[in-house]
Structure 1
Amino acid sequence: MEPVLDPQHLADVKQKRRYQLKGDVRDKITKKIQADSQPDTYYYIMVVLSCSVATYGLLSNSTAVIIGAMLIAPLMNPILGGGLALITGNNYLLKVTIKAELIGAFIAIVLSTLLTLLLPVSGLTPEILARTEPTLIDLIIALASGAAGTYAICYRSGATLPGVAIATALMPPLCVVGISLAKQEYQLAGGALLLFIANMIAINVIAIVIFKFAGFTTPSISNYLNLDINNERNTLFSRLVENKIIYPVTLLLLVSIPLVILLNSSIEGDRKEKTIRSALDEGLSVLAPDAKIISLHFVEKEGTFLIDTEFNSAQVILPEDIRKLENSLEYKLTAPVQLSADIAIIQKVNNEGSTDGYKSLLPQPEKEVVEVIETQTSTPEEIIEQVVTEKLQLFSGKLTDFSFEYQRGTGTYKLLLKINSEKTLDEKFIKTIEGILEDKLKRKVSVTLQTTDTTQNKNDTEEQQERTEKDETKKENG
């Protein structure tokens, strides 16, 4: 007995098949992808040539040469072939594409390593470093580019594939892996390899989606006569497993985890750099208004910020000025700071006057030269007083007294600070004090504040003085 078909269901099926390719078109595309995915002599020669071009472009920091290598690299075809093999269940094509991609990647890494060792080039160029820190943004780019490439193959005979090859950039990351291995920069090599794997998986997954949309797994209408429309066992998960789609999707989710972590790290690094630059600009506006920051680099090592900067200034910057900048930075970053600056003295001139920073460097015998002796603090009391007094300069505050005890069992300094301040001292101030003291005392520090508003004290003193003057006046008149 033939099953009774729901007319509405058939209408829905036809609507879904509206944008799906015809059978002969799908067969033509399948044959083309199978041919392009074969690891033949042409494929290996193009891998060698594109790898050579990309390696030279990366080492010479030439963007144009790198783009040329992307255009001739054949690595995109096996990835798209793998997506087609997974969605159609073609095990033979899947094996061929995996073989082509693995051997192609291996050749690229080995060849780029050898070329780097043979070339008399030292140092890592910006083009190389740009491919060693992938983030989630790179994964999104690969997804969009892979979708464009697959869609172009299905509906426009691959019209946009050159642009897709540039966007996905499969060959340069492999070459960066080889270059980094030759330079013994293994962490950079790992980052570049992660970028290649993320691009490859993203293109594979999105290719599966587009091929599904194009109807590469859709049975003909006549086949629906033999299907149980209400078969609940035909679940989404079972179809994913049957078509082997679950595997690249799982890999995509796994590779997204480190990319998200790296993205968060990159955002945090940018935030800290903006904080450092803002604090330096604010401090230089007082110390040297004409100074301009040229470059800024920092690393965070064992809780301490090591900052290296370069700026132009029409005034001489002294060590005590650097310490003032460090003091402000330590409060903004709530951590110890070591600031080193390369300063270029410049002349600020216009049609009315000139400011020549070099004049400050010339001997001035009419002024008394005072030798600055830097004292070395050794006891905890001296260290605590120096650090707190220095930080209170930012708030026009004064340390009136302090007490502390050392708990040997926990290795912690319990510190009580009594402070007069016109401004409110927040939790950030406490964390800054704790961080600096922990760095200097090499022990855990817990700070408690007792603050007194100097403005209120001043008002109370003025009121007391007024009352005293009134009492004296009454006595004189009485």
Structure 2
Amino acid sequence: DVDQQAVINRIKEDCSFTPRYAFLTCMSAGIAILGLLLSSPAVVIGAMLLSPLMYPIMGVGFALAIGDSAWLKDAGKALLLGTIIGIGFSAFVVVMSPLQTVTPEIASRTRPNLFDLAVALFSGLAGAYAMIRGGLGTIVGVAIATALMPPLAVVGFGLATGNWAVFGGSLLLYFTNFMTIALTATVMAWLYGFRSYLSERQTQFQIFAMVVVFVGLAIPLGLSLVQIGREANISRSANAYIKDQFGPRARVSQIDIDFNADPIVVLASVFTPSIKPEAEEQSSRVLTRAFKESIKVQIEQYRVETGSDAAEAELASKRAREQQEAVETQVSDLREKLALVAGVSDDDVIIDTAKRRAMVMAKQLPGASLETYYILEQRISAEMQDWSINIQPPAIPLPSVMVRNDEISISSQRQLDLVIWAARRSPLGLSMTGSEADLAIVAKALGADDIAAVRQDSVSTPPKMVSFDWRSQ
């Protein structure tokens, strides 16, 4: 009772590469990466609904089922170009964004496992059934379940930030999703008799190829699932055992586990009425014996009187961690800004978080004058009002100062202020040339700001002008 030709025509309508398809892919990728950077699940779901990638994937599946090479080529082209557009536009948004940290929404799409394969399998079967039986509304649910665009946006994030662990993990998740959906769509189409152009031998070859693909995907995803399960078991057991050691009146505030260390390191914070010096050694011994691998436990114990004190202490500790994270984010942003305006790498920026001071030695940038560096420092200082910002300018030419009526002219006061600013930040020292009388006037103005300059008489300096230079280059 299925009109196969009508189903094929309906799928073909939306699986070709068109300007509408390219536009929707760009918009979906943009919404997805912004939702991921903001760690907003609602925004990410909106990108899933808007994404048009499901249709060419279904087109690939049905084209494989009936052996239509022209249709397969057309749908494959749309899928490939859509993938490239999604990655490229996401990477562009990330490059332009000041937020480039790995959020929980991004991290959750970097470790695909066997469950992701199962989700894609069931979604592909449901989507193909909806295509065949006319329930196109079901495609909306399938789009949310498989989440094709968010992993693709995370691939763009990994590419833009050079984070190849994120890039590779999310790319594997995207590949798993679209391959599984396409192949399960092929199977569903076969079940409904879509085999118009295939011989028995071609069908057998396709079945063999599908088995190889599924096995090839299942092996790494299965290993990933085993690893995730192992980490979850260690984390749960460590939390339970550490808590049991200190009794019901104590609280385990936080547990962080470094699975990449050798041995595995468990860091825990405990608020307890009584300090137990042997807790670390006992915990390490029990966990090592339980999991048959070396595990080292480090416990920070904070003594409190009662259970309510422990709760209050835990809350205070949480606030302190949040404040520390906010400071770390602020410092990271400040480091990036100073490195950018100074034309240096992040490692060349010196930051003292205790005294809230930041300093960087700037390189000479094309077309930049002394005033350029002064303005850049002022702008960053205005943004970071509780920080002391110090941009040391390069050894570029210093402005001259005019003396009139035995005082520095009003028009030259700005130039003098720039010279004083540069002298305070640079260790090179100043020298100045001009007539003896003019030098005395300028030296007095510099002395008022505790700036010293070596005097050098010069007949080449224009009258009433004092020029400055760095003592050493």
Establish whether TM, by shorter chain, passes 0.5: yes
Distance 2:37 2:101 in 1: 8
Tell me, yes or no, if structure 1 residue 283 matches structure 2 residue 245: yes
Structure 2 counterpart of 1:183: 161
The alpha-carbon distance between structure 1 residues 42 and 298, as it changes in their structure 2 partners (threshold 3 A), is same
1:339 to 292, 297, 310: 297
Alignment of structure 1 residues 192-271 onto 2, 5 Å? 192-217=170-195, 238-241=202-205, 244=206, 246-271=208-233
Q: 1:320, CA displacement in angstroms?
A: 4.6
AA aligned opposite 2:299: A
Distance 2:186 2:70 in 1: 17
Q: 1:249, CA displacement in angstroms?
A: 4.1
Distance 1:34 1:41 in 2: 16
Distance 1:54 1:34 in 2: 26
Does the 8 A contact of 2:255 with 2:269 survive in 1? yes
Distance 1:201 1:63 in 2: 25
Structure 1 counterpart of 2:280: 322
Distance 1:40 1:157 in 2: 24
Does the 8 A contact of 1:279 with 1:332 survive in 2? no
Q: 1:329, CA displacement in angstroms?
A: 3.5
TM-score (norm 1): 0.60
The alpha-carbon distance between structure 1 residues 183 and 291, as it changes in their structure 2 partners (threshold 3 A), is farther
Structure 2 counterpart of 1:223: none
Tell me, yes or no, if structure 1 residue 293 matches structure 2 residue 271: no
Alignment of structure 1 residues 90-101 onto 2, 5 Å? 90-101=68-79
Does the 8 A contact of 1:347 with 1:356 survive in 2? no
2:63 to 70, 85, 90: 85
Does the 8 A contact of 1:326 with 1:338 survive in 2? yes
Q: 1:279, CA displacement in angstroms?
A: 2.3
The alpha-carbon distance between structure 1 residues 41 and 308, as it changes in their structure 2 partners (threshold 3 A), is same
Per-residue CA distance 1:156-180 (angstroms, 9 max, x = gap): 3412111010001100001111112
Distance 1:147 1:256 in 2: 18
Does the 8 A contact of 1:198 with 1:252 survive in 2? no
Structure 2 counterpart of 1:72: 50
The alpha-carbon distance between structure 1 residues 186 and 339, as it changes in their structure 2 partners (threshold 3 A), is same
Per-residue CA distance 1:227-252 (angstroms, 9 max, x = gap): xxxxxxx75x54333xx454444322
Structure 2 counterpart of 1:165: 143
Q: 1:312, CA displacement in angstroms?
A: 3.0
The alpha-carbon distance between structure 1 residues 116 and 356, as it changes in their structure 2 partners (threshold 3 A), is closer
Structure 1 counterpart of 2:108: 130
The alpha-carbon distance between structure 1 residues 192 and 45, as it changes in their structure 2 partners (threshold 3 A), is same
Tell me, yes or no, if structure 1 residue 36 matches structure 2 residue 14: yes
SS in 2 for 1:215: coil
126-135 or 267-276, larger mean C-alpha shift: 267-276
Q: 1:337, CA displacement in angstroms?
A: 3.7
Alignment of structure 1 residues 378-417 onto 2, 5 Å? none
Q: Bigger relative contact order, structure 1 or 2, given CA contacts below 8 A and separation 6+?
A: 1
252-261 or 32-41, larger mean C-alpha shift: 252-261
Q: 1:154, CA displacement in angstroms?
A: 1.1
The alpha-carbon distance between structure 1 residues 344 and 118, as it changes in their structure 2 partners (threshold 3 A), is farther
Structure 2 counterpart of 1:272: 234
Q: 1:266, CA displacement in angstroms?
A: 1.3
Structure 2 counterpart of 1:307: 266
The alpha-carbon distance between structure 1 residues 175 and 345, as it changes in their structure 2 partners (threshold 3 A), is farther
The number of residue pairs the alignment matches comes to 312
AA aligned opposite 2:267: D
Does the 8 A contact of 2:110 with 2:170 survive in 1? yes
Does the 8 A contact of 1:309 with 1:341 survive in 2? yes
Q: 1:318, CA displacement in angstroms?
A: 5.8
TM-score (norm 2): 0.61
> In percent, how many aligned pairs have the same letter?
30
Q: Which structure 2 segments of 5+ residues have no match?
A: 314-473
Q: 1:31, CA displacement in angstroms?
A: 1.2
SS in 1 for 2:42: helix
The alpha-carbon distance between structure 1 residues 120 and 168, as it changes in their structure 2 partners (threshold 3 A), is same
Per-residue CA distance 1:47-72 (angstroms, 9 max, x = gap): 00000000000010100000000001
SS in 2 for 1:123: coil
The alpha-carbon distance between structure 1 residues 62 and 133, as it changes in their structure 2 partners (threshold 3 A), is same
Q: 1:332, CA displacement in angstroms?
A: 3.5
Does the 8 A contact of 1:347 with 1:357 survive in 2? no
AA aligned opposite 2:222: V
Does the 8 A contact of 1:173 with 1:193 survive in 2? yes
SS in 1 for 2:183: helix
Per-residue CA distance 1:262-308 (angstroms, 9 max, x = gap): 111112222222332232123222xxx41122332212346412112
Q: 1:356, CA displacement in angstroms?
A: 11
Structure 2 counterpart of 1:380: none
Distance 1:88 1:99 in 2: 18
Per-residue CA distance 1:124-151 (angstroms, 9 max, x = gap): 1111111111111111111111111111
Structure 1 counterpart of 2:325: none
Q: 1:119, CA displacement in angstroms?
A: 0.8
Distance 2:94 2:300 in 1: 33
The alpha-carbon distance between structure 1 residues 74 and 290, as it changes in their structure 2 partners (threshold 3 A), is same
Distance 1:50 1:62 in 2: 15
Distance 1:117 1:313 in 2: 46
Structure 1 counterpart of 2:89: 111
Distance 2:109 2:228 in 1: 14
